[in-house]
Structure 1
């Protein structure tokens, strides 16, 4: 399913059973022994690689809607030290920065909808600087925004302009792909338009490995053709039916992709799963698998 930008506006409700479990976690703070989390080592002790395991918080959006502070405590308890925000859930940047600092977390990047970049770029930049973000990521295009190749060309032009202002503030604009960018329009691939018609210094890419493979393409081909262009990755796995799977439990050959991490220019890798029935197991499994890949 496509990225849900409504995360920035609504607070979904958890099923009663899951909500009770989460409230218990909040009451216990870091008392994660019943979930086996206390036995997990911290990220700093699991890999000496420059890139460390991160978590895209869209994976936990339902929990974030219930309690941002408790969710981030949970994430830190698993061992993550880096997160990527997908919405601030009615928190101010100052409030969020205080929370992540208290949990020993950093947030190198944040997803921001196209509308926010178009209508309030100065405000987005101000928030990003307060949060300590290094990357602002355009995460998704609504269907009406991606009907024609000309729309993608216009988007490339906008991203160059916005990217220049973002770069001047010491930040980097980045674009996150789904599957639809790899469906040809007027004889051309929209993703190629975005790559070729944007300045690589002003617009870089967050490579969602699952969606590239879902589209029937190979991420290694893009890395070879555009080295250094992919500083951010979303690491999510695929089951044998083409649906989502926990990282390391599916069929994607991550080892061959991570072997080219340096060529890609990888700086931050985030575990993500768009939909999961067991959020805690998903982020635990993701942390373990990504730690091994980065070791």
Structure 2
């Protein structure tokens, strides 16, 4: 497979989960990161080939938390079919609990002292099968679960985002009844003005903080032209988690970040935490002040997880 085709497939797979240098002016962190997590989409091939061995490796590196990605056995038909369409070009099809039941997966995580605190799932499953979602969340002891992205057809206009805010609140209300927080992870869109308003701000302003929490991907936020530090500072208490990765040089989308081709163009700039141009210490410092609880390293489908994920956690523990 040609490199661009591979990058396109990985970009599509990342979106399918909707249904995924310490500078001179760097600010020291308020305190060390004790419970650094990992989004499992960083090493799916390793997990599929040797689940226990991969989890043991993450434990040995020092990771304490994991964030899982769908689809799951109880996921919607649409999510399952979308996954089947994408995975042949990726060379793996593992997701969710990687062939285990939720109970078996939890036992394996316990064996390697890892805790599943968060996860991504599609909106259809959240709206149509919340009882099974809640059962799995309780089995794993998760704190939050939510959407990694908004499907393209549901975010074409500002009114679409207004309707999405209402749906978020309803999902969040049902999630609260099941004992977990509903989470929305931003991708590269919704960060540019649309019809006089920035969609992400609309979602933040029109969702109930008691029902909806947010997860910031600092890479795509930067690519979309927003400053992660300022966004965190302006919204204390709304962000519960961060996705941490780095950018070789600060670069913005050519457009509004709403299409896969724009993500593909920026994919080669993704690198290990601390190996790029983003001010990671300043972002983490502000995140701690703004109430962020979970910090997940995520380097989507990185070529050498054993090396890259070790570099990222080593940097975060010593910066």
The whole-number CA distance in structure 1 between the counterparts of 2:33 and 2:17 is: 31
Verify the 8 A CA contact 1:172 1:204 in the aligned structure 2.
yes
Q: Structure 1, residues 80-118: CA drift from partner, whole Å, max 9, x if none?
A: 121111131332211110110111111111111112212
Cα 1:8–1:196 change in 2 (3 A) is closer
Query: How far apart, CA to CA, are the structure 1 residues paired with 2:161 and 2:17?
Result: 24
Is it true that 1:174 corresponds to 2:183 in the alignment? yes
**Among residues 245, 255, 271, which one is paired with 1:245 in the alignment?**
271
Number of the residue aligned with 2:314 = 288
Residue equivalent to 2:37: 54
In the superposition, relative to structure 1, how do residues 129 and 257 fare at CA in structure 2: closer, same or farther (>3 Å)?
same
- TM-score scaled to structure 2, two decimals? 0.75
SS in structure 1 at match of 2:190? helix
Aligned to 1:114: 123
Q: 2:286 aligns with which of 260, 272, 276?
A: 260
Instruction: Show the 5 A alignment for 1:15-30.
Output: none
Q: Which residue of 1 aligns with 2:105?
A: 96
Unaligned segments of structure 2, at least 5 residues: 1-10, 20-30, 71-95, 252-268
Q: Show CA shifts across 1:170-223 (max 9, x none).
A: 311111001112133322211111101100111011011111111111012212
1:17 matched residue in structure 2: none
Residue 4 (structure 1) aligned with residue 25 (structure 2): no
Find the partner of 2:214 among 185, 191, 205. Answer: 205
> Which residue does 2:53 correspond to in 1?
70
User: Is the CA contact (8 Å cut-off) linking 1:207 and 1:233 kept in structure 2?
Assistant: yes
1:58-93 deviations in Å (ceiling 9; x for gaps)? 101222233322221221122212111113133221
What's the CA shift for 1:161?
1.0
- Which ranges in structure 1 are unaligned for 5 or more consecutive residues? 10-47
Q: Which has the higher contact order (CA 8 A, sep 6+)?
A: 2
For 1:174 and 1:216, the matched residues in 2 are separated by 22
> d(CA) in 1 for partners of 2:311 and 2:234?
32
Q: Distance in 1 between matches of 2:238 and 2:211?
A: 10
2-side partners of 1:166 and 1:51: how far apart?
27
Give the equivalent residue in structure 1 for 2:84: none
Moved more, 279-288 or 62-71: 62-71
Partner SS, residue 234 of structure 1:
strand
Match of 1:36 in 2: none
Shift of 1:169: 2.8
d(CA) in 1 for partners of 2:270 and 2:316? 16
